[in-house]
Structure 1
Amino acid sequence: MARLDVTETFHHISFPGHIHTQDSLNYALHFKFQDRDTVIATYPKSGTTWMQEVVTLVKNRGDPQLSKTVPNWARAPWLEQYYSEKVLGATQGPRIITTHLPYNLLASALQGSKAKVIYVARNPKDVVVSYYHFHKMAKFLPEPNSFDEFLDGFLEGTVSYGSWFDHVKGWTRQAEVLANVLYISYEEMWLDLRGSMEKISAFLQCPLVGEELTSSLRHCSFSSMRDNTMVNYTLVPQEIMDHSKGKFMRKGKIGDWRNTFTEDQICFFDTVYSQQMQGCPLTFLWECPEEEEE
């Protein structure tokens, strides 16, 4: 299924046609979640791959065998992508399911389910820079042209997967009121991976002890994931993801946006952000603490 130049529009949101169809998107909206499912929900480039690795290791008590032998898209498939019905239908036991869909589209399917949902959000300045670079290498996404143009689309919510603002606000509101939804930030994981993994494992009722935790931390470090072919997407053919134009796991740092944004872009972004997030209690860490005064 190539369809590299196809864009699917679903509920006024654009999705890359290479991995989505109208049927697969409708399948997601009517999916029958099981109470033992774990759902990882994110906006793109917000720590999805990292959380897939964390949950895989937690569920396997720190044993890295699955992480080293099965691609992440097979062990934690995207609910809305065209292959998921076949993969999820064949999965026995508790499932790990990934989604980039906004909450409003999955609300009906999740209603009444005891499935545990982990929502990961990242500061949007780093998200937009990472997403821009991903567009350069992913041939199933539109050519991004200039960063200035891409930033406009991101702030307007016209990029693939829609508005970051709507996505984050929609999911985090559920985390405030539902016990089976956990919100954690990318920055929290970066600054305290051990504490984050303990928090996640407790939420999943799989608390890790001793070597289980040590092994999990070792195998979900950025360097370990960057070198793991089951995680770093180097298994994806060159005609679909051009690895000569960049790495899927590029830097992963907090505050790298400063190397891309101009002062005018910072002002423009901050104005839109303050308007869109008015009344929202979420706060984000925009730079690493040790770098704030540089």
Structure 2
Amino acid sequence: MTSESPVRTCYQQALSYRRQDMAQKPRTFKFEGVTMTHYFTDNWEKVKNFKAKPDDVVIATYPKAGTTWMSEIVDQLFFGEIRRESSSPSIFDRVPFLEFCEDFQTESLLTSPRLIKTHLPVQLVPQSFWEQNCRMIYVARNPKDIMVSYYHFDRMNKIQPDPGAWEEYIDKFNTGQLVFGSWYDHVQGWWEKSRSYSRICYVFFEDMREDPAREISRLCSFLGLSPNETQKKEVLRKTGFEEMKKSMADALSNNDEFDESVSPFMRKGIVGDWKNHFTVAQNEAFNEEYRKKMKESDLKFKMEI
């Protein structure tokens, strides 16, 4: 696959479209009951009518739950040997973003299976993915670290709304006013769907950080892959934080969507960074809100490891 592939064209088209009004931070609005910006809804008819293939693999997350990390892991598991033998496109091209690609209907992805990422809540996922019985990997991350990472991402991302002050951001998070809506609804919606739809592999970011080799083996079992130990070690090496940070430098070199002088795209990737941002009072108040919103769910998160 060369840099002139249709996938690259699709990504560049999306970037070109977004550059047109990047000078001004977008406003949010409710779309199908979910907080969105026009960047994720202008293309909605194509997203809604997306034609899935039975072997498509979807990587779904709430923003800042480890999307790029999981994308790289899955791509390396399927295509690592190919990637090592040639100059490969960036991860944004190899695992394109469903909500951004205007040209997805041309079936421009050349790999089989196609790897596609999305931040959509489960109820907005295009129907064809369910009809085609596609495999889906959902990555969930604890809400405190999500909030910190998303806050810094909104600060440096020119097509995300202005995050405002940190204390205001906590309230926006709790009331579902961030782009892609309520984290609580998102993680619980996918969790409940995984009980009736067996081809969802529900993965926790904290488990991946705690024992990546174990979680990669679990993913291989889900995806029907049997890499040898040498191949698994290579995937672990290629998807380590520092290695990915280096590889992302090239991917972001011509991207004027992100201002890394404000905050790096790959910032820390750890569990427990929320302790450096929450005051004692903010943490206590958030814990109370969390208990209220999660009291009916058996979904459990590790706030530290």
Instruction: Give the alignment's TM-score, normalised by structure 1.
Output: 0.89
* Alignment partner, residue 93 of structure 1: 112
* Alignment partner, residue 268 of structure 1: 285
Q: Tell me how far apart the structure 1 counterparts of residues 118 and 86 of structure 2 sit (CA, whole Å).
A: 19
* Alignment partner, residue 179 of structure 2: 160
Say whether the 8 Å CA contact 1:138–1:242 is kept in structure 2: yes
Matches within 5 A, 1:125-144: 125-144=144-163
* Alignment partner, residue 234 of structure 1: 252
Please state whether the residue corresponding to 2:147 is helix, strand or coil.
helix
Please state whether the residue corresponding to 1:141 is helix, strand or coil.
coil
* Alignment partner, residue 11 of structure 1: 32
* Alignment partner, residue 29 of structure 1: 48
Deviation per residue, 1:64-123 (Å, 9 max, x gap): 438962111211111111435267445353200100000011163333222100000000
Taking a change above 3 Å as real, the CA distance of residues 241 and 182 of structure 1, as seen in their structure-2 partners, is: same
Say whether the 8 Å CA contact 1:62–1:216 is kept in structure 2: no
- One-letter amino acid of the structure 2 residue matched with residue 205 of structure 1: G
Between Structure 1 and Structure 2, how many residues are aligned? 284
* Alignment partner, residue 292 of structure 1: none
- Structure 1 residue aligned with 2:137, among 115, 118, 131? 118
Q: Tell me how far apart the structure 2 counterparts of residues 105 and 205 of structure 1 sit (CA, whole Å).
A: 27
Please state whether the residue corresponding to 1:14 is helix, strand or coil.
strand
Unpaired runs of 5+ in structure 2?
1-16
Taking a change above 3 Å as real, the CA distance of residues 268 and 20 of structure 1, as seen in their structure-2 partners, is: same
Matches within 5 A, 1:41-60: 41-60=60-79
Quote how far apart the aligned CAs of 1:241 are: 1.1
Say whether the 8 Å CA contact 1:21–1:82 is kept in structure 2: no
Q: Tell me how far apart the structure 1 counterparts of residues 144 and 81 of structure 2 sit (CA, whole Å).
A: 32
Quote how far apart the aligned CAs of 1:201 are: 1.2
Q: Does residue 273 of structure 2 align to residue 253 of structure 1?
A: no
Say whether the 8 Å CA contact 2:28–2:179 is kept in structure 1: no
Please state whether the residue corresponding to 2:202 is helix, strand or coil.
strand
Taking a change above 3 Å as real, the CA distance of residues 60 and 90 of structure 1, as seen in their structure-2 partners, is: closer
* Alignment partner, residue 80 of structure 1: 99
Q: Tell me how far apart the structure 2 counterparts of residues 159 and 233 of structure 1 sit (CA, whole Å).
A: 26
- One-letter amino acid of the structure 1 residue matched with residue 255 of structure 2: P
Say whether the 8 Å CA contact 1:62–1:215 is kept in structure 2: no
Taking a change above 3 Å as real, the CA distance of residues 29 and 76 of structure 1, as seen in their structure-2 partners, is: same
Q: Tell me how far apart the structure 2 counterparts of residues 63 and 92 of structure 1 sit (CA, whole Å).
A: 11
Quote how far apart the aligned CAs of 1:8 are: 6.3
Output the aligned Cα RMSD: 2.1
Deviation per residue, 1:196-246 (Å, 9 max, x gap): 11111111111211211111110001111011137x7523534x2111111
Q: Tell me how far apart the structure 2 counterparts of residues 84 and 176 of structure 1 sit (CA, whole Å).
A: 33
Moved more, 57-66 or 121-130: 57-66
Quote how far apart the aligned CAs of 1:174 are: 1.6
Quote how far apart the aligned CAs of 1:21 are: 3.9
Aligned-pair identity (%) = 33
